[in-house]
Structure 1
Amino acid sequence: MTLSDMMNIGLMQGFAGLSLFAVLLLMGLGLAIIFGQMGVINMAHGEFMTIGAYSIYLAARVTESLAPAFMPYYFPIAIGLAFVFAFIVGWIVEWVLIRHLYKRPLDTLLATWGVSLGLQQIFRTFIGPKEVSPTLPEWLMGSWTPHEGLDIPINGLFVLALTALVTGCVLVALHKSRWGLRVRATVANRTMANATGIDTMKTDRLTFAIGCGIAGMAGAAFTTIGSTGPTSGSLYIVDAFLVVTFGGAASLLGTVVSAFGIAQTQSISEFFMTGSMAKVLTLSLIVLILMMRPQGLFAVKVRR
């Protein structure tokens, strides 16, 4: 094997890590908003990702049966639907359950774990226990070959572009929009925010629903790289919490950096060892760094 072949393999393995990075980042962004900004331990976050993935699958099936000529165009619309469906379910869960459990993190953990199990059973009952994959548009298939021996999947490029767009929108919304101002005021001092006329309960509900909607978009991105089953989201929940904790619970910049580091470490190490050993190596490095820096890579000081 020549040096050029080794470099091409390394680049392709690194790009595979970028695809995982995109899914982890979208999951982490939604969780950073819910956990980092609101202090809610949402164990059902993976199931909101699954809602987004199933939204793409169902949209593909409906389009295939009712309007097959529309197949090349359905995917971007389905991504929007994935956000909307996950947002609506998140809004309902917050209104029915989460709003009664603020400042009780252990109770939110147990309650959302119950929600997670309930949603998984709903998926099994109404969609089926087997893993499914949507029919993707032809323009998402194939690869881009910048030079001989280096093939970069087009679906990976699309997922990266989607992730960059969503991340940019979240950052702008948090720092430039009225909703972002209310979120930051509520996090800084809830009592004072209420005194200035901010409806913190409505802000909490909207924030939780937006975080769930972003998880739905992570599920939409996931459909381009893997099949979806009732428990697919739960496989990513630990990684999503690692991304948020490692980066710093209230830091979106930390979420981006930690998602990139975790995804690249895991993907590149999988080339040299088994998947389980690569996972052990990644977790060990995270534990060592957190022992030296328990607050995460980018700690945000918040006035209490």
Structure 2
Amino acid sequence: MFGDYSLGDLGSIFAMQGFAGLILFSVYVLMALGLAIIFGQMGVINMAHGEFMILGAYMTWLCSEFFAAYLPSLFGIYFFVAMALAFVASGSLGMLVEWALIKRLYKRPLDTLLATWGLSLILQQAYRSIFGPREVGVNLPDWMLGSLQVTDSIEVPINGLLVMALTILITIAVYLLIFRSRWGQQVRAVVQNRVMAGAVGIDTEKVDRLTFGLGCGIAGIAGSAFTMIGSTGPTSGQLYIVDTFLVVVFGGAASLFGTIASAFTISQTQSTLEFFLSGSMAKVITLLAVVAILMLRPQGLFTLKVRR
């Protein structure tokens, strides 16, 4: 596989594929952050998480079409508006789903898995009826196209750098929100002891709803990033839900740092292997490697120390 390349060529290939995997890494991080909040903090297995991501992708596409048709002079900033709208739309739908469905299924993980799987099928059909069965793609502003020339053989995509910078900012914001804010203290209190948290005056139902909405809203932002690496269709979310669960489990369900490290490891491994092998073989090898590591360390790469 590597015999036809010199050491210099291999270094350039690894660097190029690493930079090319920036957007995939950003999608994995944002998807896994939302899923880790919902699964790690609430114990809910959300099989419809990919559809919340695709809602964000469709909002980005609609925003692109609207700015191109009615506000062409502001087309250069539409992506930032689209990310905000994607967060609001996916988060609002998430809170509605939590109120109407999820709150009746807490502490019943198999029931939440089946219910959210059914929800994913409903959302797929809704997208197909509203937006049509064909896949759609967004047009990027001119300043987001192209790449930066680092060396003669290494180029860095501009949109990849932008999305990764936004991902870092969002990750920091989530960390501050969960671990450095009063609301984050309430979330962790509800996770540790729901009855005692309610006894001291915390509105546990409100905390659950906002937590689920936050996780779904972050998935919507991941959908905005997704539009840069693939076209958006009603079933596109299912292509990423397995990889996202893999990222969360591999990193450690309750570890924010583990989620980031896991997303980086899996995305870069997959991106590099795809250059030398087919996309399906890259996924198979990545999956086998992760399974082998989990057999040795079933709790994931990083775990939180808690009292039992």
TM over 0.5: yes
CA RMSD of aligned residues (A): 1.2
Listed as ranges, the gaps of 5+ residues in structure 1 are none
Q: Is contact 2:94–2:217 with CA below 8 Å preserved after alignment?
A: yes
Match of 1:61?
Answer: 65
Q: Which moved more, 1:271-280 or 1:23-32?
A: 271-280
Cα distance in structure 1, aligned partners of 2:107 and 2:307: 17
Kindly indicate whether the alpha-carbon contact (under 8 Å) linking 1:243 and 1:258 is maintained by their aligned counterparts in 2.
Answer: yes
SS at match of 2:21: helix
CA shift, 1:74, in A, is: 1.3
Runs of 4+ in 1 over 3 A off after TM superposition: 1-6, 301-304
SS at match of 2:235: coil
Q: What residue is the counterpart of 2:135 in the other structure?
A: 131
Is the Cα–Cα contact under 8 Å of residues 22 and 161 in structure 2 kept in the other structure? Answer: no
SS in 1 for 2:196: helix
Q: CA shift at 1:140, angstroms?
A: 0.7
Q: Deviations along 1:244-280, whole A, 9 cap, x unmatched?
A: 1111111111101111111111111222222111111
What is the CA distance between 1:141 and its match in structure 2?
0.5
Residue 260 of structure 1 pairs with residue 269 of structure 2: no
Which residue in 2 is equivalent to 1:291? 295
Alpha-carbon distance between aligned partners in 2 of 1:2 and 1:248, rounded to the nearest angstrom: 37
Alignment counterpart, residue 114 of structure 1, candidates 112, 118, 121: 118
Residue 135 of structure 1 aligns to a residue whose secondary structure is coil
Aligned residues: 304
> What does residue 94 of structure 2 align with?
90
Tell me how far 1:3 sits from its aligned partner: 4.2
Task: Give the TM-score normalised by structure 2.
Answer: 0.96
Residue identity in the other structure for 1:225:
I
TM-score where L is the length of structure 1:
0.97
Read off the aligned partner of 1:47 and give its amino acid letter: E
The reply to whether residue 281 of structure 1 matches residue 285 of structure 2 is yes
Q: Shift of the alpha carbon at 1:2? A: 5.4
| Range moving further from structure 2, 153-162 or 265-274 | 265-274
Q: Which amino acid aligns with 1:210?
A: L
Contact conserved, 2:57 with 2:226, CA < 8 A, in 1?
A: yes
**What is the alpha-carbon distance in structure 1 between the residues aligned to residue 292 and residue 135 of structure 2?**
36
Q: Give the SS at the match of 1:74.
A: helix
Paired residue for 2:217? 213
Query: 1:103 aligns to what?
Result: 107
**Contact residue 188 and residue 303 of structure 1 kept, 8 A:** no
Aligned-partner SS, 1:147: coil
Matches within 5 A, 1:186-265: 186-265=190-269
1:23–1:221 contact (8 Å) kept in structure 2: yes
